[in-house]
Amino acid sequence: MPFHTHTLPNGLRVIAETSPSARSAALGFFVRTGSRDETGPESGVSHFLEHMLFKGTPRRTALDVNLDFDRIGASYNAYTSEENTVYYAAVLPEYLPKAVDILADILRPSLRQEDFDTEKQVILEEIGMYDDQPGWAASDHARRIYYGPHPLGHSVLGSKESITALARDQMHAYFSRRYSPTNIVVSAAGNLDFGHLVGLVSEACGGWERVEAGRPDRSEWAGVGGLHVLTREKVQQEHVMLLAGGPPADSPLRYAADTLALAVGDDSGSRLYWALVDPGLAESADCSFYEQDGSGCVYTSYSCEPDEAEGNLAIVRNVLAEVQRDGITEAELRQAKSKILSRVVRGSERPMGRMQAIAAAWAYTGEYRDVDTELANFDAVSPSDIRAFLDRYPIDRSTVIAFGPAKALDGVEGKPV
């Protein structure tokens, strides 16, 4: 499928993978900003701002935004992560001009004080709601502890204290600093004409003021180390996470990291599955690789009855030590590749999947990777690549965080949270 790219005079980049045989088109505005780009007093502002972009513009009320999307039958939404805030829609090809108009419009919001005050209460309720979900709370605490002073440890939601103290003018200053056209990629995929798309985006966004927005701290991080026990008695299960350093998103080792993590901790047929889940020692066990800007992370986790947590930790540590020493077998490598290749192919069959994939690759590397190239990169992973990854990023050199009712684990006393 042909790939196209164009940069507007103000620095906004437009990329697309066109497929005339597709029955739909997907469009996304990827803003390269997230919780890692916030200062302490701004904690949570990226996610809060995502909400505010749907509250109205000089041209549209909040109701108009939703009605206009609904009138064209769009599947639309937004999300915020540590590194990106993304606004997207999937539509029939004839409605792409309207989708560009709506998305571009909301990216220049009114940010009215009354809307800010109302939505602040929604955000505070959302923080409380997520904090009541043990899996989410455990992961949020784990990132905070693992990354310590590194900005990747910033909470996406922020805290009740930071959101309560946040002022509308702080949000506006953050928006002005981060939502520059130089910090945004417009990505599209499916049945569309690229020249027409560039014209639509130029008309809607060409007048946006250019501001240089950087990301100075892109250092690699290997964690603070140690075992950290966080006690919350009302939680039923113990959630234990082992975080280790990994390659950044633009490293060739990312393919080996992703493949190894799947072999170690996929939800079926992996080392951790046979060691913990199949014998009934844990409800779930997982190992995943998270690629990020400048620094990656291998995230191993399991959840189980509190009485099983300590024994299971010894099992997981043994599994990781064996993998670190011996790598994985040829059979495990083949099986992991098959699963990944299937995942890549299935994700590429919808314009939405390709729109997301090309935007992510472009944001992290400035390169385009078609499906065949991505498949070839994973298929080429060899035992020597796995060894090179393990030598550079030891999988058993972990920061361990336990979250749940346990008052102590492996001789370490818990701290109430």
The pTM (predicted TM-score) of the whole model is 0.95
**Strands 296-304 vs 284-290: parallel, antiparallel or unpaired:** antiparallel
Instruction: Give tens-digit pLDDT for 339-394.
Output: 999 999 998 999 999 999 999 999 999 999 999 999 999 999 999 999 999 999 99
Q: Residue 355: its pLDDT value, please?
A: 98
Q: Residue 214: its pLDDT value, please?
A: 87
Q: Where does the pLDDT of residue 216 fall: very low under 50, low under 70, confident under 90, or very high at 90 and above?
A: confident
- Amino acid at site 41: P
What span, in angstroms and rounded, lies between the C-alpha atoms of 155 and 168? 20
Closest by CA position to 76, among listed 20, 113, 25: 25
Torsion of CA 235, 237, 239, 240, to 10 degrees: 130
Who contacts 80 (Cβ-Cβ below 8 Å, separation ≥6)?
Answer: 34, 35, 46, 47, 50, 86, 156
Instruction: Return the bridge partners of 237, or none.
Output: none
Burial of 366 (0-12, 13-18, 19+ CB in 10 A): exposed
The answer, yes or no, to whether residue 331 has pLDDT greater than 90, is yes
The answer, yes or no, to whether residue 1 has pLDDT greater than 90, is no
322 is catalytic: no
Percent of all residues in the chain with a pLDDT value above 70, rounded to a whole number: 100
Q: How many CB atoms lie within 10 A of CB 176?
A: 12
Q: Annotate 85-104 with DSSP letters as a single string.
A: EEEEEEE-GGGHHHHHHHHH
Closest by CA position to 370, among listed 11, 15, 79: 15
DSSP 414: P
Q: Residue 357: its pLDDT value, please?
A: 96
Average pLDDT over residues 211-227: 93
Instruction: Give tens-digit pLDDT for 62-76.
Output: 999 999 999 999 999
What span, in angstroms and rounded, lies between the C-alpha atoms of 10 and 184? 11
Q: Where does the pLDDT of residue 247 fall: very low under 50, low under 70, confident under 90, or very high at 90 and above?
A: very high
Q: Annotate 180-228 with DSSP letters as a single string.
A: -GGGEEEEEEES--HHHHHHHHHHHHTTSPP---------------SEE
Instruction: Give tens-digit pLDDT for 132-146.
Output: 999 999 999 999 999
Q: Residue 244: its pLDDT value, please?
A: 98
Instruction: Give tens-digit pLDDT for 23-81.
Output: 999 999 999 999 999 999 999 999 999 999 999 999 999 999 999 999 999 999 999 99
3-state secondary structure of 105: helix
| Helices 371-379, 330-348: inter-axial angle, 10-degree rounding | 170
Average pLDDT over residues 259-288: 97
- Amino acid at site 114: E
The answer, yes or no, to whether residue 120 has pLDDT greater than 90, is yes
Average pLDDT along the chain: 97
What span, in angstroms and rounded, lies between the C-alpha atoms of 11 and 21? 31
- The structure tokens listed for 226 are 């140690």
The answer, yes or no, to whether residue 231 has pLDDT greater than 90, is yes
Q: Residue 340: its pLDDT value, please?
A: 96
Q: Where are the alpha helices (DSSP H) in 30-112?
A: 45-52, 62-71, 96-106
Instruction: Give tens-digit pLDDT for 164-208.
Output: 999 999 999 999 999 999 999 999 999 999 999 999 999 999 999
Q: Where does the pLDDT of residue 322 fall: very low under 50, low under 70, confident under 90, or very high at 90 and above?
A: very high
Closest by CA position to 122, among listed 26, 51, 217: 51
3-state secondary structure of 325: helix
What span, in angstroms and rounded, lies between the C-alpha atoms of 326 and 311? 23
Chain position carrying tokens 């910033």: 154
Q: Are 187 and 359 in contact (CB under 8 A)?
A: yes
Closest by CA position to 305, among listed 406, 399, 228, 230: 406
Q: Residue 217: its pLDDT value, please?
A: 87
Who contacts 120 (Cβ-Cβ below 8 Å, separation ≥6)?
Answer: 48, 163, 164, 166
| Residue 228 to residues 74, 206, 273, 406, Cα–Cα distance (Å) | 45, 50, 24, 12
Q: Annotate 267-294 with DSSP letters as a single string.
A: SSSSHHIIIIITTTS-SEEEEEEE--SS
Catalytic residue among 50, 82, 83, 374: 50
Q: Where does the pLDDT of residue 82 fall: very low under 50, low under 70, confident under 90, or very high at 90 and above?
A: very high
- How wide is the angle at C-alpha 292 spanned by C-alphas 178 and 381, nearest 5°? 150
Structural domains in the chain, CATH included, are 3-205 (3.30.830.10), 227-416 (3.30.830.10)
